[in-house]
Structure 1
């Protein structure tokens, strides 16, 4: 299948503004291809406890998020992850703020809570020169997954579990094998992936993986360089499947 993609999630400003930029710069050199930058929210409905803690941490740090966005390195593929519920009252202003640095937006609640407005928000995102990176799960009907896979910019994000960073007993390879046949796009798999899961989903046809909670856990325990070690390890695993 060729080159496999590593999508790295990090919460904007975590664990502080300097180390956040350090993680981005170092991980880019070690093989991260695309970044999901989580815009902190107090209502992270579909995020697990690790990412929720990262949101609390940056709120406690009282980081100026707009200023930090301006300091982001110029990266070809940078996706803003935010909840539509947070931005819905002034969505145009949000898109206008991020359009200079980001090339895409991922709204995890779009299909779950705002499905009837999918076409409207898809068009709105595109009007600002951004790509709508769409999040799906195994609970969505095949017909919907197939439809949005063709709409989704960069890739289709397929979350295997109900929330981030939580391992539950499922068969990742079986889920990916089934959905691979209906996805006409790059298929990126995430949500609670163990190292064994990663190898299984790649064998089953995933074009890459998205990792986030594992980086934050490593930063919590041993700092930025420990998280960078994981980026390096993941890049090695992905390169085995070229």
Structure 2
């Protein structure tokens, strides 16, 4: 069992649920991303997703799309992201998951990608546009890398069984149809999906898409093993970009305070 599995086991023993923030690597630059990762860990992050910027992200809403564009403008690529992970690993054992689109990984080279993940200290990967039917080669190469698959609340039983069987580390349950983005209300349909997964296999399930407040964290934490929060965090970075030059620490504090507020309700379940 790797860092991802160990983390969920330890949280279960403490009756806590996992907080999994998403940060776009390189938004607004790689140096700040590293600082935000380390600060997120200090403020309650149990695992963390690092986005690989891509010019045509099909599953991402406007907030994360803009973050990807800011990152690409800085020249961020997979080589730089692996160096970022290596730098983080000098100071942290926080489980790190790369989330990106298949074209980026295919262009980098599957074998090279898996090898660099192992060397740098990446624990898992999420590829929203790679269906399990087409992911056999990556699955075969990734003997020590958790391949985390997604399930929507609209998935039928056959699909749930297939994805549950193939996924490792945890399953990413999408709370609502559509793209990523903060929402005022969350669908309750995802709870049924989580229950169906648990009936098939004892694997952690984390819910993402739309979670944007401590109230949402509390609601999802009642039945899932963790929550994934991306757009609501990216929004706080975007709204405070003016602080980057004159008071970077205030920008970091605004993000870390929000992360801490999301973790608090997850410790009381």
SS of residue paired to 1:189: strand
CA contact (8 A) 1:164 1:192 kept: yes
Q: Which residue of 1 aligns with 2:161?
A: 146
Residue 68 of structure 1 deviates from its aligned partner by 4.6
1:170 shift after superposition: 5.2
Measured in 2, the distance between the counterparts of 1:235 and 1:169 equals 19
Give CA deviations for 1:181-230 in whole Å, capped at 9, x if unaligned. 33321110000124333322222x10110011111111111322211111
TM-score norm. by structure 2 comes to 0.79
Match of 1:239 in 2: 267
Root-mean-square deviation (Å): 2.1
Unaligned runs of 5+ in 1: none
Given that residues 21 and 47 in structure 2 are in contact (C-alpha distance below 8 angstroms), is that contact kept between their aligned partners in structure 1? yes
Change (3 A) 1:71 1:117: closer
1:9 paired residue number? 22
Unpaired segments ≥5 residues, structure 2 = 1-11, 241-250
Moved >6 Å (runs of 4+)? none
The CA deviation at 1:159 is 1.1
Change (3 A) 1:186 1:64: closer
Q: Which residue of 2 aligns with 1:123?
A: 140
Matched, 1:182 2:202: no
Q: Distance in 2 between matches of 1:64 and 1:105?
A: 16
How far does residue 64 in structure 1 lie from its aligned partner after superposition?
5.9
Determine which of 197, 200, 217 is the counterpart of 1:198.
217
2:182 and 2:234 mapped to 1: Cα distance? 13
Q: Secondary structure at the match of 2:141?
A: helix
Tell me how many residue pairs correspond in the alignment: 234
Higher mean Cα deviation, 142-151 or 100-109? 142-151
